[in-house]
A and B are shown apart, each in its own frame.
Chain A
Amino acid sequence: MKIVHLYPDLLGTYGDRGNVICLAERARWRGIDVTVDAVERGDTLPNDADLIFMGGGQDRAQELIAPELLAMAPRIGEAAARGAIVFAVCGGYQLLGSRYDEVPGLGLLDLYTEAGDDRILGNASIDTAVAGTIVGFENHGGRTYLGPGAKPLGRITAGRGNNGTDGTEGAIQGNIIGTYLHGPVLPRNPAFADALLALAIREELRPIDDVLEMAAHERGLELARKRRH
């Protein structure tokens, strides 16, 4: 399979590369041949991606990359329509929406984001249909609101989620999935990582040893429950 990592240098402030390492290793441990292509500034999107990953960057980095990403949006949309999974975290998730305040986004997810008064910050947990309980760390100033075309990735069980008011976290629309959760989110939620892999290669995956991953998952759940707000 081919994993494409969009702009790892500019969109990868929060250890987001851990998600790519996790996906690649979990595929390899099952004997699947994996290549990881990094798309840097000036590169074109490979047309045979099975999974496209995009992390979050600093404000200035996201401004620098926005024109290229906007130009690339139709090709990312085509890849998803063809069956590739697009997975984005935090800043990348916001970019997939229609806008952040007045700044236009890629328009691939039916959602928009507005700047909030305070930062949503801390350990969080959500309940999802795709992978059961997911734990992670939220750290964002934006408030994201879903339109009718997008469904939430999950419901908040601890933490504040997309906007701190409606109990939703993340979004799914066809093959495009976004979340605010860091951690990075996939290594400590192996069921979520495997769900994305299985969707990307359209095959069932055999179970592997997840004792360490589940210990980190449980610890994350404990921390999320202890959070005060």
Chain B
Amino acid sequence: MSLRQIVAARTGRLVGAASRLTGFGAGEAVTGKLAHAIDPTLLSALASRVPEGFVVVMGTNGKTSTAAMLTRVLNAQRRNVVTNATGANLVGGVVGALIKHPHAEIGILEVDEAAARSIVPTLEPRVMIWTNVLRDQLDRYFETDIVIRHLENAAVSVRGSLVVNADDPGLVGAAERSGKPVVYYGLTHARDEGSALAADSANCPRCGAPLRYDARYLGHLGRYACDGCGWKRPEPDVAVEPVELRGAQRITVRVCEVDVTLQTGGLGAAYNVGATVAAARQLGIDEHATAKALEGMTAVFGRGETIGNGVLLLMKNPAGGNEGVMQVLEDGYSRILVAINDRHADGLDVSWLWDVEFERLKTTARYVVVSGDRAQDMAVRLKYAGIAVDVIEPDIKRALDLVRAEPFAFLATYTAMLDARASLKGKSERLA
């Protein structure tokens, strides 16, 4: 490394440590952002020191969880892994993680779709995972078609294979256009009554005709075919069979004849197992070893995580919201707290709340509190869903105090989840 690169890394690390000590943040992203500003060639120098290269995870939902699963599988193989586990997926987060883990053998990095072009070409990933592209933060990403284009551009610098969700027709179209070798994963079935709202890629990527769905899992994810030109869902190389898909806290899936049970729930978890098995295979790890490593894995940040009496369900976009609603319904929670913020990381526009089928909670909701910067808009959404709101309490800490004495479900946007976790776990956790 050049002197400038070393200075950049050291200065960044100092400031990152200060950020951690003062309790402002996880430190890594701060470290990386500053170091990258001092020397933009640092990413390339750091990346070249990771001998076995990189797996990059991209897509709307499931990036953090999939990266966590694959990291767990590699750790079980006693490999030294660098990963941006806090979900810091812009260039600063990636550089910060690489500075922090100078002896890593391999990297598992999630990368933000819009930030990919400043990161992925340097990493030249050996495997790139595409989880899904769903409607999300329209003030920032604008359209799913634009995000799909970001993924296609990122695929150009992949040296090995793409690992792609076969149930997302938009992704399959992009994977076919990329000309790269593709390994597909997908579900054999899912819930019969999944929400078809917010389906943005439900038209044939080849001829534009509406796709015919034999099964609709969530949004435009499902088993589809085009009656116009005969194009259809590719048969997955890794087929995931949900044996038990119910609620927020447990799921059992069968992959290549092997059962895996996780202490987290939902359709997303089933997909993430598929992506992990397929990617691990590309790294020479068979499904038995992968399944063994994943068995019993618990939820990451707000994805069916349990704290006290609360089950925490992160709801960043319509697909995540609709999946969260199904899990709350299946678990039968009667106390429900929904917290909606509209800060930069949440998306400034809360229109998407109307693409979430809160109507489904009518049968189970008995005590409902809404909170966050946009508590009022959430109250209106529930009113039109036929659900009575008991309390509007914009302050999240006070809202939690209203529900926490008994089991409750907590649906929240990203920054509202951060606030709630800090409050539920106490300040000591944040500093740890």
Please report A residues at the B interface, Cβ cutoff 8 Å: 9-10, 12-18, 21-22, 25, 40-41, 58-61, 64, 119, 121-123, 137, 139, 182-184, 187-188, 212-213, 215-216, 218-219, 223
170-213 of chain B: CB within 8 A of chain A: 197, 199-200, 202-203, 208, 210
Residue of B144, B199, B350, B376 touching A9 (CB-CB under 8 A): B199
Minimal beta-carbon separation of B293 from chain A (angstroms): 39
- Chain A CB within 8 A of B383 CB: yes
Residue of A15, A18, A212 touching B389 (CB-CB under 8 A): A212
Residue of B203, B351, B355 touching A137 (CB-CB under 8 A): B351
Identity of the chain A residue whose Cβ is nearest the Cβ of B349 in the assembled complex: A137
- Chain A CB within 8 A of B139 CB: yes
- Chain A CB within 8 A of B379 CB: yes
- Chain A CB within 8 A of B8 CB: no
A139 B138 Cβ-Cβ under 8 A: yes
B208 A216 Cβ-Cβ under 8 A: no
The 10 A-B residue pairs whose C-beta atoms are closest, nearest first, are A18-B354, A15-B354, A15-B351, A216-B376, A215-B376, A58-B143, A137-B349, A14-B351, A182-B351, A219-B376
A213 proximity list for chain B (CB < 8 A): 380, 383
B139 proximity list for chain A (CB < 8 A): 121, 137, 139
Known: A188-B380, A212-B379. A17 touches B203 (CB 8 A): no
A183 proximity list for chain B (CB < 8 A): 349-351, 377
B384 A9 Cβ-Cβ under 8 A: no
- Chain A CB within 8 A of B135 CB: yes
B377 A137 Cβ-Cβ under 8 A: no
Minimal beta-carbon separation of A43 from chain B (angstroms): 12
B352 proximity list for chain A (CB < 8 A): 14-15
- Chain A CB within 8 A of B243 CB: no
For the side of the interface on B, what is the size category?
20 to 34
- Chain A CB within 8 A of B392 CB: yes
Binary A-proximity of B152-183 (CB < 8 A = 1, otherwise 0): 00000000000000000000000000000000
Complex Cα–Cα for A107 and B379 (A)? 38
B350 proximity list for chain A (CB < 8 A): 137, 183
- Chain A CB within 8 A of B353 CB: yes
- Chain A CB within 8 A of B281 CB: no
B384 A187 Cβ-Cβ under 8 A: yes
357-403 of chain B: CB within 8 A of chain A: 374, 376-377, 379-381, 383-384, 389, 392
- Chain A CB within 8 A of B114 CB: no
Complex Cα–Cα for A212 and B381 (A)? 10
| 12 A–B contacts from the bound complex (CB under 8 Å) | A13-B135, A14-B352, A15-B318, A21-B354, A22-B384, A58-B145, A60-B145, A137-B349, A139-B349, A182-B351, A187-B381, A212-B380
B380 A25 Cβ-Cβ under 8 A: no
A188 proximity list for chain B (CB < 8 A): 377, 380
Minimal beta-carbon separation of B53 from chain A (angstroms): 34
Minimal beta-carbon separation of B114 from chain A (angstroms): 14
A121 proximity list for chain B (CB < 8 A): 139, 348
B355 A219 Cβ-Cβ under 8 A: no
Residue of B144, B348, B380 contacting most chain A CB atoms (<10 Å): B380
Known: A58-B145, A58-B200, A137-B348. A18 touches B377 (CB 8 A): no
Minimal beta-carbon separation of B268 from chain A (angstroms): 21
A-B contacts besides A59-B143, A182-B349, A215-B376, 8 pairs, CB < 8 Å: A15-B351, A15-B355, A16-B354, A58-B144, A123-B348, A137-B349, A137-B350, A137-B351
Known: A15-B355, A58-B144, A212-B380. A219 touches B138 (CB 8 A): no
Minimal beta-carbon separation of A115 from chain B (angstroms): 13
Residue of B197, B210, B380 touching A41 (CB-CB under 8 A): B210
Identity of the chain A residue whose Cβ is nearest the Cβ of B208 in the assembled complex: A64
Identity of the chain A residue whose Cβ is nearest the Cβ of B144 in the assembled complex: A58
333-362 of chain B: CB within 8 A of chain A: 342, 348-355
A59 B377 Cβ-Cβ under 8 A: no
A216 B348 Cβ-Cβ under 8 A: no
A119 proximity list for chain B (CB < 8 A): 142
A14 proximity list for chain B (CB < 8 A): 138, 349, 351-352
Complex Cα–Cα for A58 and B199 (A)? 11
Identity of the chain A residue whose Cβ is nearest the Cβ of B392 in the assembled complex: A215
A215 proximity list for chain B (CB < 8 A): 376, 379-380, 392
Complex Cα–Cα for A137 and B389 (A)? 24
Complex Cα–Cα for A123 and B374 (A)? 13
Residue of B145, B197, B354, B381 touching A59 (CB-CB under 8 A): B145
Complex Cα–Cα for A221 and B390 (A)? 24
Minimal beta-carbon separation of A64 from chain B (angstroms): 5
B384 A21 Cβ-Cβ under 8 A: yes
Minimal beta-carbon separation of B168 from chain A (angstroms): 15
Complex Cα–Cα for A188 and B376 (A)? 9
Residue of A9, A121, A215, A223 contacting most chain B CB atoms (<10 Å): A9
A18 B384 Cβ-Cβ under 8 A: yes
Complex Cα–Cα for A166 and B144 (A)? 31
Identity of the chain B residue whose Cβ is nearest the Cβ of A122 in the assembled complex: B348
B200 proximity list for chain A (CB < 8 A): 13, 58, 61
Residue of B139, B349, B350, B392 contacting most chain A CB atoms (<10 Å): B349
220-271 of chain B: CB within 8 A of chain A: none
A184 B354 Cβ-Cβ under 8 A: yes
Minimal beta-carbon separation of A42 from chain B (angstroms): 8
Known: A123-B348, A188-B377, A216-B376. A61 touches B203 (CB 8 A): yes
Complex Cα–Cα for A17 and B352 (A)? 10
Known: A14-B138, A139-B138, A184-B354. A216 touches B377 (CB 8 A): yes
B145 proximity list for chain A (CB < 8 A): 58-60
B351 A212 Cβ-Cβ under 8 A: no
Minimal beta-carbon separation of B130 from chain A (angstroms): 19
A13 proximity list for chain B (CB < 8 A): 135, 138, 143, 200
Complex Cα–Cα for A58 and B145 (A)? 8
B342 proximity list for chain A (CB < 8 A): 223
